[in-house]
Every structure is written in C-alpha cells, then in structure tokens.
Amino acid sequence: MSEKTTIYDIAKALNITAATVSRALNNNPKISQATKKLVLETAAKMNYKQNKLALALKSGRSNTVGVIVPYIDRNFFSSIIRGIEEELYPLGYHVIICQTHEEEGTEIDNINALLNAQVDGILMSVSKHTTQLDHFDHVLKKGVPLVFFDRKKDIKGVSTVTIDDFEGGYTATKHLIEQGCKRIAHLSGDRSLEIYKHRYEGYKKALEDFGLKVNKDHVVQCKNDIAAGHKAIDKFMKLDHRPDAIFSSSDFLALGAIQQLKKNGIKIPEEFCVVGFSNEPFTKFMELSISSVDQSPVLMGNTAAKVFLEQVKDSNVKIEKKVVLSPKLKIRKSSSRS
C-alpha cells in the first residue's frame, strides 16, 4: 500500500463516508464501537498515517497548550498548572506539561518538543540557568503566544504574570520586626534570578524603614534545599553576633534552618522566629507549623491562562500585559510570639 492512503481511500474500501472515517479515527463517541474497530483495522491494514497536523493547520489550532516549569513536584508550580487547567479545560484545551530541572538545554528541548507538537501557546516559568533568549524568539517568530509566569525574562511582546516579590519580602520582614526580632537574617536563593533579588530588596527596605541595619554576615545566598538550611545555621552559630530570626526565600531552607536550630536547643518562636516563602503544604502540616508567604499559585495559573486566551482571541492584535499579584503572609507557629 502507498504511504499516502487518505481517509477517502478507507471510506471507499468500507463503503462509508469520509466523515465517519474521520470521526472514528478521532474516537468520536457518536461512532459505534464496531465501526471504530472496523475503521481502525482497515486503516492499519492500508498503512494509513493520520495527519493531525494537517487538521490542526486547517483550523489553525491544535487545542493543546504547553506548560513548562522548573519542577512539577514543587507545590507552587503544580498549583499554577492546576490553575491553568481550571481555565482551559472547560474551553476544550488540553494541557501538556514539561519540566526543565532548571537546565537551559532541557528548556530549549522542551520548547522544541512543544512546537513540534503544534501547541497553540506556551505558558512557562523560566529556568534558573537560562541566559539565552533565542529559543523564546523562536516561539514568537512562529507566531505562537508565549506567556511567562513567576520567573520571566523581559522580552518585547511577551506577557507576564508575576507576584510582587518585593512586597512579599517586605511583609515577611516587617512581621518579624513586629514580633520583636532585632537581628533578622535572610536566606536567599540565587539573586541573579529576579524573584530572589526582589525578595532580598523587600527585606532590606523593611529593615531600613524600621531603623535596622543589614548585617552582611546575616545574608546567605544558598541552594533551595534542607541541607543548605542546616549549613546556614551552622554558620550563624559561629558568629559573635547571632541572628534572632530568619526570613527565608524558600520553605525548604526554612525547614532545614528550623531542624538545625532545634538541634542547637534554640526555642522557636520564643528565642528565634522563622518565616519561609511559597507556602508549601508541609509548612502547614508540621507540629511546629512554619509561617510562609503564599504566592496564590492557583490564581497565578488562572491569570496566565486568561492572558493567553486574550491573545488567541484576536491574533491580529498584539497584547503585552504585565500582571502583578499580591502575596499573602500566612502567620503560623514558627513566628507567632503573641
């Protein structure tokens, strides 16, 4: 058989209409199981390759949206994805997801895989190690809408949905000051990333506004994991001037710090207060629950999806929208002295 078998060939062979063949191939519920079986078997026998792309190009859409995140298993990102799905599923869109593990190379591969899958749009959070912008240009040149959420690059024509990380850092630090803490340390992620830079700036500004000074020994830039939290406390313990509180830009760091503080016999929150960032579920589950800055990830996902929908609604209009959401501090045991 020729490779160019069409649905018309199959229709002819079975003496049914091409529309029925097409519906059967697309698993349309209106077509009986018996017919589907017959069509699929005949299509296989005739070596038919369904060109969904042709259909997609004809209608101009595949009804599939690609989402790229650094890690699918961080509650923050999985909640954003839920928010995107909430908006897009009812409209008949499918959502396919890729993770970068913070690798630029994987991010480029993911983008190519999604473009090859003919997605109608890409909603993504940029990997920590991304320095190039070519792959984003590639998306835009192909006319595929691109929306950044949380972690963004400033690119003309790309809409972004972020939270006000400065405000998050400011609110958390102000809260610690109000609890009576005087020597507030900051555990920060890589500040070449805007989100961490802004959280740090919010921290600094709150200290300034309340007449406190930033002690360089109290600001530690580290990885986002529990072990790094342990290490930071070990470092603080050796100082003459020890901190009495931590605003951490990550919940995992905050958890590590709390574990190590306890090992050192330091009472939380009486002697030391801790606030994390992201509101990971475990912060709430702990017996000593951890205060944390909530980033409204489901709302962020909803918003990113809405921004995308506005863009596909009228492809003749270029929309560049910058949405900034407000974070919310969740005060829990790790910083409640009252």
Convert residues 122-141 into a mask of x (bound to a second copy by CB under 8 A) and - (unbound).
------------xx-xx--x
- Rounded to the nearest angstrom, the gap between the alpha carbon of residue 125 and the centroid of all alpha carbons in its chain is 5
Q: What is the DSSP string of 147-189?
A: EEESS----TT-EEEEE-HHHHHHHHHHHHHHTT--SEEEEE-
**Listed ranges 38-46, 149-157, 205-213, 270-278: which one lies at the site for a second copy (CB under 8 A):** 38-46
Q: How many CB atoms lie within 10 A of CB 256?
A: 25
Contact call for residue 324 and a second copy (CB under 8 A): no
**Listed ranges 5-13, 116-124, 164-172, 324-332: which one lies at the site for a second copy (CB under 8 A):** 116-124
Q: Which is nearer to a second copy, 142 or 337 (CB)?
A: 142
**Listed ranges 35-43, 151-159, 203-211, 216-224: which one lies at the site for a second copy (CB under 8 A):** 35-43
Q: Which is nearer to a second copy, 60 or 180 (CB)?
A: 60
Q: Which phi and psi angles does 146 have, rounded to 5°? A: -125, 130
Q: Which phi and psi angles does 26 have, rounded to 5°? A: -95, 15
Contact call for residue 210 and a second copy (CB under 8 A): no
Contact call for residue 64 and a second copy (CB under 8 A): yes
Strands 219-221 and 322-325: unpaired
Question: Do 220 and 161 meet the contact criterion of CB atoms below 8 Å apart?
Answer: no
**Listed ranges 10-18, 65-73, 216-224, 238-246: which one lies at the site for a second copy (CB under 8 A):** 65-73
Q: Which is nearer to a second copy, 171 or 291 (CB)?
A: 291
Contact call for residue 106 and a second copy (CB under 8 A): yes
- Binding residue count for a second copy, defined by CB under 8 A: 62
Question: Do 290 and 336 meet the contact criterion of CB atoms below 8 Å apart?
Answer: no
Contact call for residue 115 and a second copy (CB under 8 A): yes
Give SS3 for 83: helix
Question: Do 87 and 75 meet the contact criterion of CB atoms below 8 Å apart?
Answer: no
Choosing from 78, 177, 225, 299, the residue that interacts with a second copy (CB under 8 A) is 78
Query: What stretches of 26-164 show up as alpha helix (H) in DSSP?
Result: 33-45, 52-59, 75-88, 104-116, 134-141
Q: Which residues bind a second copy (CB under 8 A)?
A: 3, 26-27, 33, 36-37, 40-41, 43-44, 49-53, 56-57, 62-64, 66, 71-73, 75, 78-79, 81, 85, 89, 94-99, 101, 106, 108-110, 112-118, 134-135, 137-138, 141-143, 255, 281-282, 285-288
